[in-house]
């Protein structure tokens, strides 16, 4: 009798895991979707709780882009958007009870949720480490996504009610290792510190810019140049690179940048000395020097920019 009762409980379809996963995946869908639209310039600026400029720094870092060329820009958040959308659609199908819990398709769908969330959790773990140890900035939306992925992963193990732990552990381990190795290779390839410039190795030049620019950033950079607002930089300065990354490679081409390092390519060392430049990056705005990496919105206010500030 006890054995029969146990089997009945095991065969009983649990509703609450599907409800919670639906809610969590919806939050993730909105979270990553908003970031993606912001990256494409189709969404207003996001208010990021926490450290000032943290989200901007993280999302505009080399690790914030999955793929890009002159025509296409695929932000990493788009991968998260597709992941949460997939989980949401699968969970809705399960919640509608169109498939009997005893059917193989039902188990297959639960396996999909488990493996997708396992992969997402592993990659999120890698990204969190990159955020704190490489980028050294704090992004609320990124941490939220990691928490959502891990929560869905845990709940999927409860909702799926796998009959044996061995296949679950084995498949989860294979997926986690594969994603971790692939993620490490990708992370290494996009790391600016590992990038090699195509110019001569004897020339001291800044690392290449890996982020893309929205139309608003390009227009802002053009405004700065037309109003003779100058950025003083040094090729070896990481904060200068961070500042350029905020603009993106297309917008940087519009900026008026002066190389101040004495051994830098095309440097204007004497001009920098005359201007009294002692910190990098420095901005010359209406004859006054302002040092430090600047948020684009703050820079727009300082320079009196009247264009679209949704960078």
Q: pLDDT digit string (tens) for 114-155? A: 999 999 999 999 999 999 888 887 888 899 999 999 999 999
Structure tokens at 81: 């958007």
Integer-rounded Cα Rg, in Å, for the chain is: 24
DSSP state of 251: H
Taking residues 22-34, report their average pLDDT. 95
Rounded Cα distance, 69 and 308, in Å = 24
pLDDT computed for residue 205 by the predictor: 85
Taking residues 228-253, report their average pLDDT. 91
pLDDT computed for residue 38 by the predictor: 75
pLDDT computed for residue 193 by the predictor: 65
Is residue 293 within 8 A of residue 266, CB to CB? The reply is no
Percent of the chain exceeding pLDDT 70 equals 86
Structure tokens at 126: 């890698």
Structure tokens at 169: 């552990």
DSSP letters, 125-146, are: HHHHHHIIIII----HHHHHHH
Higher pLDDT, 54 or 17: 17
What is the domain partition of the chain in residue ranges? 2-194, 215-303
For 163-201, the pLDDT digits (tens) are 888 999 999 999 999 999 999 999 988 776 665 444 444
Instruction: Assign a CATH topology to domain 215-303.
Output: Glutaredoxin (3.40.30)
Closest to 235 (Cα-Cα) out of 210, 187, 191, 269: 269
Extended strands (E) in the chain? 65-68, 73-75, 230-233, 256-259, 282-285, 288-291
Rounded Cα distance, 311 and 302, in Å = 15
Residue 226 has pLDDT above 90, yes or no: yes
pLDDT computed for residue 305 by the predictor: 94
Residue 207 has pLDDT above 90, yes or no: no
Residue 49 has pLDDT above 80, yes or no: no
Rounded Cα distance, 299 and 245, in Å = 15
Percent of the chain exceeding pLDDT 90 equals 51
Is residue 23 within 8 A of residue 16, CB to CB? The reply is no
For 82-94, the pLDDT digits (tens) are 999 999 999 999 9
Q: Tally DSSP H helices, then E strands, for the chain.
A: 12, 6
For 52-109, the pLDDT digits (tens) are 566 777 877 778 888 765 566 788 999 999 999 999 999 999 999 888 877 889 999 9
Identical fold, 2-194 and 215-303: no
Q: Reduce the DSSP state of residue 286 to 3 states and report it.
A: coil
Q: How confident is the model at residue 43 (pLDDT cuts 50, 70, 90)?
A: low
Residue 280 has pLDDT above 90, yes or no: no
Where is 57: in which H helix or E strand? helix 54-59
Instruction: Identify the CATH class of 2-194.
Output: mainly alpha
pLDDT computed for residue 44 by the predictor: 57
C-beta contacts of 112-116 below 8 A and 24+ residues apart: 112/86, 113/21, 113/87, 113/152, 113/156, 113/159, 113/160, 114/153, 114/156, 114/157, 114/160, 114/168, 114/172, 115/171, 115/172, 115/175, 116/83, 116/86, 116/87
């Amino acid at each position: 009798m006890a054995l029969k009762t146990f089997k009945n409980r095991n065969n009983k379809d649990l509703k609450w895991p599907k409800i919670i996963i639906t809610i969590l995946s919806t939050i993730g869908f909105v979270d990553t979707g908003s970031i993606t639209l912001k990256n494409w310039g189709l969404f207003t600026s996001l208010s990021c709780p926490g450290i000032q400029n943290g989200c901007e720094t993280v999302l505009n870092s080399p690790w914030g882009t999955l793929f890009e060329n002159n025509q296409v820009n695929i932000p990493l958040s788009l991968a998260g958007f597709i992941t949460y959308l997939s989980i949401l659609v699968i969970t809705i199908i399960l919640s509608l009870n169109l498939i009997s819990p005893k059917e193989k398709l039902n188990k297959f769908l639960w396996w999909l949720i488990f493996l997708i969330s396992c992969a997402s959790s592993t990659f999120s773990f890698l990204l969190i480490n990159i955020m704190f140890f490489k980028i050294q900035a704090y992004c609320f939306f990124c941490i939220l996504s990691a928490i959502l992925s891990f929560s869905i992963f845990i709940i999927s193990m409860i909702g799926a009610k796998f009959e044996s732990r061995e296949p679950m552990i084995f498949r989860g381990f294979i997926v986690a290792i594969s994603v971790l190795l692939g993620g490490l290779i990708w992370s290494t390839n996009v790391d600016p510190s590992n990038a090699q410039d195509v110019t001569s190795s004897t020339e001291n030049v800044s690392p290449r810019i890996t982020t893309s620019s929205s139309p608003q950033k390009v227009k802002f950079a053009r405004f700065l140049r037309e109003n003779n607002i100058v950025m003083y930089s040094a090729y070896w300065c990481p904060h200068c690179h961070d500042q350029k990354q905020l603009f993106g490679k297309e917008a940087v081409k519009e900026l008026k940048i002066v190389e101040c390092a004495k051994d830098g390519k095309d440097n204007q060392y004497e001009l920098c000395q005359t201007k009294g430049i002692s910190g990098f990056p420095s901005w010359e705005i209406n004859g006054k020097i302002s040092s430090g990496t600047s948020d684009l919105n703050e820079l727009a206010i300082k320079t009196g920019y009247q264009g679209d500030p949704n960078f």
